[in-house]
Amino acid sequence: MDALHVDLLVIGFGKGGKTIAAAMGRRGQRVVMVEQSDQMYGGTCINIGCVPTKALVHDAESRRPGDAPKHWYARAVTRRADLTALLRGKNFDMLDVIDSVTVVTGRATFAGPREVEVRAGTDLLRIRAETVVIDTGSEPVIPKIPGVLDNPRVTTSTTLIATEDLPARLVVIGGGYVGIELAGMYAQFGSQVTVLESAERVFVREDEDVADAAREILERQGVTFLTGVRATSIRDTDDGATVSYEGGGPGEAGEGAVTGDLILLAVGRRPVTAGLGLEVAGIRTTDRGAVEVDEHLRTSVPGVYAVGDVNGGPQFTYISLDDSRIVLDQLVGSGERSTADRGAVPYTVFLSPPLARVGLTEREARKAGHDVLVASKAVASLAAMPRARIVEQTDGLMKFVVDATSGLVLGAALLCVDSQELINTVALAMRHGVSAAELRDAIYTHPSSTEGFNEVLAALA
Would you place residue 2 in the very low, low, confident or very high pLDDT band (cuts 50, 70, 90)? confident
* Length of the chain counted residue by residue: 461
User: What number of other Cβ atoms are within 10 A of residue 7's Cβ?
Assistant: 17
CA atoms within 13 A on the CB side of 303: 15
The fraction of the chain above a pLDDT of 90, given in percent, is 95
pLDDT for position 251: 47
Which of 225, 33, 195 lies closest to 129 in space, CA to CA? 33
CATH code of domain 2-139+270-341:
3.50.50.60
Please return the burial class of 417, using the count of CB atoms within 10 Å of its CB with bins 0-12, 13-18 and 19+: buried
Q: Are 36 and 105 in contact (CB under 8 A)?
A: yes
CA of 64: how far to CAs of 67, 73, 156, 224, 378, in Å?
5, 12, 27, 22, 25
Q: Looking at 71, 296, 370, 446, which residue is catalytic?
A: 446
Q: Which helix (H) or strand (E) holds 73?
A: helix 69-96
Q: What is the pLDDT of residue 122?
A: 87
- Find, among 326, 410, 406, the residue nearest to 368 by Cα: 410
Per domain, the residue ranges of the chain are 2-139+270-341, 154-267, 347-459
Q: What's this model's pTM, rounded to 2 decimal places? A: 0.94
Cβ pair 273, 283 in contact under 8 A: no
Neighbours of 295 (CB within 10 A): 11
Whether 2-139+270-341 shares its CATH topology with 154-267 is answered: yes
CB 228 within 8 Å of CB 247: yes
Other Cβ atoms less than 10 A from the Cβ of 258: the count is 20
Superfamily name with CATH number, domain 347-459: FAD/NAD-linked reductase, C-terminal dimerisation domain (3.30.390.30)
pLDDT level of residue 107 (50, 70, 90 thresholds)? very high
What's the CA gap between 327 and 13, in Å, rounded? Answer: 16
Predicted confidence band of residue 189 (pLDDT cuts 50, 70, 90): very high
What was the pLDDT predicted at 3? 85
Residue range 241-262: mean pLDDT, rounded: 82
pLDDT 10s digits, 263-312: 999 999 999 999 999 999 999 999 999 999 999 999 999 999 999 999 99
The yes-or-no verdict on residue 16 having pLDDT over 70 is: yes
The pairing of strands 107-112 and 101-105 is unpaired
Q: For 154-267, CATH number?
A: 3.50.50.60
Task: For the chain, give the mean pLDDT.
Answer: 95
| N-term to C-term CA, the chain | 71
Active site residue 296: no
Q: Is the pLDDT of residue 254 over 80?
A: no
Residue partners of 333: CB distance under 8 A and separation at least 6: none
CA 268 from chain centre, in angstroms, equals 11
**8 A C-beta contact, residue 138 and residue 309:** yes
How does pLDDT run across 117-135, given as a tens digit for each residue? Answer: 999 888 999 999 999 999 9
